[in-house]
Structure 1
Amino acid sequence: MFKAGEKPGYSFELNARDLANILRNVRQGKQFSDFCIATNHGHEPGEFSREPADYEQSFARKLIDAGADVYINHGPHHVRGIEIYKGRPIFYALGNFLNQDLRSPVGADMFETHGKDPRLHTDAEVSAHEMAIGYPSAEGFLPLRDAEFYESVISVSRFEENQLAEIRLHPIELRRRARFANRGVPRLAPAAQGYAILERVQELSEALGTRVEIDDGIGIIRVRTSSA
């Protein structure tokens, strides 16, 4: 369905039956556990959009209302902002922990997409070509070689008496310029790069009402605890 708008974009609507089943399962998961993490694999509204899809904030909040202690979206290949809702963290995307530069075996369609012959060329040569021109998607060839695709954070959330007290964000990079044998393996980002990663998370999170402090190369979100 199309409708006129001020700028091009996508709008998404959850299937009501699926949503009801998901909320029921999260509620049951919390009933049988002390801690419940809800995850969603979603690339919307676009593979490299820094903004979450228009449905996602409402969806994440509903999951927390149903009992989830943490919401994590994985799928986007870069970090997005972090929101704190009712004392629970919503991670709209933490980026890649491992990179998919070298996949083996590579599907026959990928050989065809990149003009390679599986009788002559290797999986690594297909991956190298993909790195050079980008990843094929509905949006065209996406530039996987961009540095942002190789930058992420590891989040450590600390809870006290079932209340979120603090989140620490450790910036990492995935050895973008290393050879295939080492590329994609995470390590702590060098100081300047790490600061740039945290500044990006800081800016994106501020738009969601979350303050991220940067202290000695670590991002810190301090949460006011309230009595249960």
Structure 2
Amino acid sequence: MTALATDFRREEPLSERTLDTLRHAVRTAGADADVVVVSLHSHARRKDPRTPPEFLVRTCRDVVDSGAHVVVVHGPHVMRPIEFYRGGLICYGLGSLVLRPDDAAQPAEAYTTRGLRPGDGQGLTEHRLRELAASGEDCTALVVEVTVEDGTARRVELHPALLDTDPRSPSVGLPAPVAPAGMAAAKSTLGMLGAELTDLPRGILAALGRISASSRG
């Protein structure tokens, strides 16, 4: 089931028309499925990219209220909070799961604006990885396992992963489990989130490492 937005705004609530489209898509999916997972693409951000904008939080909760069991936001290349909300699970950002621009067709400007020759896929991947590091975004990711029972998201397990950033590696831009040696740095990355997410409801998970949590409701 695919729902397309009818308007595009920044830091503003979605129009009722767009919300109605999303709600209808969720209800339609729910009529044919035991579990409904909604995928939302958004690059919207606050000054701190790790904190989801308020309108996005409201939209994700609205989608759960419409019958979704899991909502996953992708677009930001940073990890954001994960929330249990009214029997649903909302992932506001899982980081960078895959970054291989050389595997997809790109416009010439994607190369020329970076001083590259069009078609230089390896160079584009290397450049994009450097851009992520310079922008404060990172190459960490979370793989999420969700247990849904009786229409409610009951349990979540988070498995940390890091993108391979070695341009000479055949797996560059692809995720791999975090090795023990890299766990301390990875935990530090997510640890900064804890203090910033206290305004969000209970059930927020802001830690990196293989962790699990259960909803209380």
Name the residue aligned to 1:150.
139
Instruction: Tell me: CA distance 1:53–1:198, structure 2 relative to 1, closer, same or farther (3 Å).
Output: closer
- Between the aligned partners of 1:178 and 1:108, the Cα distance in structure 2 is 21
Counterpart AA for 2:63? L
Counterpart of 1:186, as a letter, is: P
Query: Equivalent residue of 2:52, what SS?
Result: coil
Whichever residue aligns with residue 37 of structure 2, its letter is I
**1:101-155 deviation per Cα after TM superposition (whole angstroms, max 9, x unaligned):** 544544211232023344xx733234434444x2xxxxxxxx4467852101111
Runs (4 or more) in structure 1 with deviation over 6 Å come to none
CA positional deviation for 1:213: 8.5
Counterpart for residue 80 of structure 1: 80
Mean CA deviation greater in 201-210 or 38-47 = 201-210
Which residue is 1:95 aligned to? Answer: 95
Q: Distance in 1 between matches of 2:204 and 2:56?
A: 20
Structure with bigger gyration radius? 1
Aligned to 2:4: none
In 1, Cα distance between equivalents of 2:143 and 2:29 = 25
Matches within 5 A, 1:1-228: 11-45=11-45, 49-100=49-100, 102-103=102-103, 105-118=105-118, 122-132=120-130, 134=131, 143-144=132-133, 148-177=137-166, 179-190=168-179, 191-200=183-192, 202-203=194-195, 206-209=198-201, 210=203, 212=205, 217-225=209-217
How big is the shift at 1:98? 1.1
Counterpart secondary structure, 1:156:
strand
Count of aligned residue pairs for this structure pair: 204
Q: Percent identity?
A: 23
- Find the residue that maps to 2:138 and give its secondary structure: helix
The alpha-carbon deviation at position 189 of structure 1 amounts to 0.7
Instruction: Please give the alpha-carbon distance, in whole angstroms, between the structure 2 residues aligned to 1:115 and 1:13.
Output: 38
Q: Name the TM-score, length of structure 1 as normaliser.
A: 0.76
- 5+ residue gaps, structure 1, are 1-9, 135-142
Structure-2 change in CA distance of 1:185 and 1:123 (3 Å): closer
2 CA distance for matches of 1:95 and 1:187?
A: 13
The answer as to whether partners of 1:176 and 1:184 remain within 8 angstroms in 2 is yes
CA distance in 1, matches of 2:117, 2:210: 46
What's the C-alpha RMSD, in Å, of the aligned pairs?
Answer: 2.9
In structure 1, C-alpha distance between the alignment counterparts of 2:20 and 2:104, rounded to whole Å: 38
8 A Cα contact 1:48 1:76, kept in partner = no
